[in-house]
Structure 1
Amino acid sequence: MTPTMQDLFLEAFWETLIMVGASTAISVALGLPIALLLFVTAPRGLSPNGWVNRPIGLLVNALRSTPFIILMVAIIPFTRLVVGTSIGTTAAIVPLALAATAFLARLFENALREVDPGVVEAARAMGATRLQIVAKVLVPEALPGLIAATTVAVVSLMSFSAMAGAIGGGGLGDLGIRFGYQRFMPEVMATVVVLLIILVQGLQSLGDYLVRKLSHR
């Protein structure tokens, strides 16, 4: 492990953290409102509306069912429009955030469905508005499930970020492909795998800890 290779690993590690962190923040910011909209407009939701629920549900399902590597290539023009380039760490954030948003929207929706309906009915009986029910009942009650869903998404994003390296997305995946595979350096590939495993284990443990602290059970 030469000093040059150490610098490359540090740079790739930092790029991976940037990709995963930025795409997670964007996907949570977009996925939660979508999940709330799907939950509220569902047939048994607070405000049933099939004209809103069905198209959004179809779009989310379409994004979820598209393999990430295909999605990443298919939206290159959109990525270039948003960030001005289709190569590098910044460009990889766009497809990562898009894929994670659809994934998280469904996971968040399932977490909201696990909220005790009796709590919602009690809030309704006390005269709470739909907005108050969503902000002060649904989201706080579903918080452990939302954090658990975010943890699952972050772990998935770690593997997606490594896949992004296949088309020049940067990060540990890119380093493993360029040096471990193309230059026949198995020790580099092994180090990349170990680092990714450590990252995933650390993130999963942090997520589990937060869920235990916030769980009402």
Structure 2
Amino acid sequence: MIQLDLALGQPVGARADEFLVSDTNARAVQHLEHWGTWPVMAALLVGPRKSGRSLLSRMFALRTGGTVIDDAERQPEVDIFHAWNRAQAEHRPLLIVADAPPPGWDIALPDLRSRIGATPVLTLGPPDDRLVASLLDYLFDRRELVAGPGLIDWLTRRVERSYIAVLGVVEALEEDAMLRSNRRLSLSTARPALGKAGLVVAAPPTELDPKGA
């Protein structure tokens, strides 16, 4: 698992933000790393919320000196149009961050629509098993929660494949840990806490566990 670190004025001893890379987002990361070869000095980064897209874009801007437009669907289209043109004129990369590319992103301005149509689209897909496990481990560490033996593997097999779901599981377990005044997590405490919240599903069956218990 590759980790891209970003320390933004953090106090001594604080862990830097990390963007975790797996097969589901590796192509987007690779494209950003080779921005000097872009056919146009712009790229459109799309993906679900909580996928790390804002963090990745901040890291990109710090590394390249480029410009980022986050939540592009909510920004004035004429501003994005001028930023796109300026990026070409100055040969300085522009990263546009949105929930989805057109037609999911309804662009009214024809000139902007044509420019976005010529812009490479980089997609952050839903988390795969490897990324789910890494996110759980990373988020537990950030929140100073100690996962007991087998817990991350147990969760990975049962959590919905979405960033929101992974975050919801971590938040629910942190809340339960606070109620118990114990930041150690175990299967015996996680099962009732997450079952009550409806945040886990039955695990897929395997040869060793045909019932998916």
Report which of the two has the higher share of helix: 1
Structure with more relative contact order (C-alpha pairs < 8 Å, separation 6 or more):
1
TM-score normalised by L of structure 1 = 0.27
TM-score normalised by L of structure 2 = 0.28
Report which of the two has the higher share of strand: 2
